């Protein structure tokens, strides 16, 4: 059983999100810079963010609303169920989260760069609520199986119950929750755009034997018709493209056709080496 905790880069953001690129202060003890953020994206695929500008009251309210929803009777919860296949049979729920959505959107906009902005097309966000009830034998099940995310970037809020684990050097390592901190992970489309420079890393969620757990990921996604391919500036005679061109709609459909148990589907879009 793994007991060590990942030491992912912990970045301290100024409360003014619009100037995020010039206001990284420190990971843990040293003053970081964008090079360290880039290294975290290359080697870990994950980093953590605090002092992001989202008020603690909004974070706590969001977690409270999520817990309240999952305490409703099943008949009440099913009123929010959607049969739309594009939602992959998930619950479709609307929340008034204006401040949180705006801050997360501005953060992602600040770090993505002009090229990514154009490559994504009419991009958007969607949010999921994950609930893991306590399980007396947690070793027999998963909250979520090992997978990569199919989108571009994921921003995760988790409560105080440990559950998230990241695959690093062949070992599953837990990421202990830090109050009022968001976890940012590189997802599949960013790995393609960076031509494997940034890593979309396998992660899963385990259940707890004593406590229920809530996690709230916000997925930053390209437009369905956006054509995804390695950035041209990264490709030359010595650095070949590792992926073929495809639309995000094509990728998203193949990802969910395989299901989360298949971990991901980047391999289906690899360029031929012949």
pLDDT single digits (tens) 213-239: 899 999 999 999 999 999 888 898 898
Mean pLDDT of 74-83: 77
User: Could you tell me if 207 and 141 are in contact, meaning their C-beta atoms sit under 8 angstroms apart?
Assistant: yes
Domain ranges of the chain: 32-227
- 32/29 Cα distance (integer angstroms): 9
- 155/5 Cα distance (integer angstroms): 20
**Tell me: the pLDDT tens digits for 188-216?**
999 999 999 999 988 888 888 888 889 99
- 103/109 Cα distance (integer angstroms): 10
> How sure is the predictor about 12, in pLDDT bands with cuts at 50, 70 and 90?
low
- Please state the pTM of the whole predicted model: 0.77
What residues pair up with 155 in beta bridges, in sequence order? Answer: 184, 218
- 78/96 Cα distance (integer angstroms): 20
Alpha carbon distances (Å) from 84 to 3, 61, 80, 130, 148 = 40, 28, 12, 19, 23
Give residue 246's pLDDT.
96
Mean pLDDT of 72-88: 71
Task: Note the CATH architecture for domain 32-227.
Answer: Sandwich (2.60)
């Amino acid at each position: 059983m793994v007991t060590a905790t990942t030491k992912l880069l912990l970045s301290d953001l100024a409360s003014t999100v619009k100037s995020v690129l010039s206001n990284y202060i420190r990971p843990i003890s040293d003053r970081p810079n964008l090079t360290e953020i880039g290294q975290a994206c290359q080697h870990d695929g994950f980093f953590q963010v605090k002092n992001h500008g989202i008020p603690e009251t909004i974070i706590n309210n969001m977690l409270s609303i999520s817990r309240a929803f999952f305490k409703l009777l099943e008949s009440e919860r099913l009123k929010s169920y959607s049969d739309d296949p594009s939602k992959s049979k998930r619950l479709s729920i609307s929340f008034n989260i204006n401040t949180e959505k705006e801050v997360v959107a501005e953060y992602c906009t600040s770090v993505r760069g002009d090229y990514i902005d154009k490559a994504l097309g009419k991009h958007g966000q969607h949010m999921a609520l994950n609930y893991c009830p306590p399980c007396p034998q947690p070793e027999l099940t998963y909250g979520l199986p090992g997978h990569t995310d199919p989108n571009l970037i994921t921003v995760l809020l988790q409560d105080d119950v440990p559950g998230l684990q990241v695959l690093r050097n062949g070992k599953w390592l837990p990421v202990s929750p830090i109050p009022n901190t968001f976890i940012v992970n590189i997802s599949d489309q960013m790995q393609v755009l960076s031509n494997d420079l940034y890593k979309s890393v396998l992660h899963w969620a385990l259940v707890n034997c004593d406590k229920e757990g809530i996690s709230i990921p916000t997925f930053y996604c390209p437009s369905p018709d956006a054509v995804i391919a390695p950035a041209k500036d990264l490709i030359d005679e010595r650095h070949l493209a590792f992926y073929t061109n495809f639309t995000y709609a094509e990728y998203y459909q193949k990802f969910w056709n395989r299901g989360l148990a298949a971990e991901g589907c980047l391999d289906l879009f690899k360029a031929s080496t012949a």
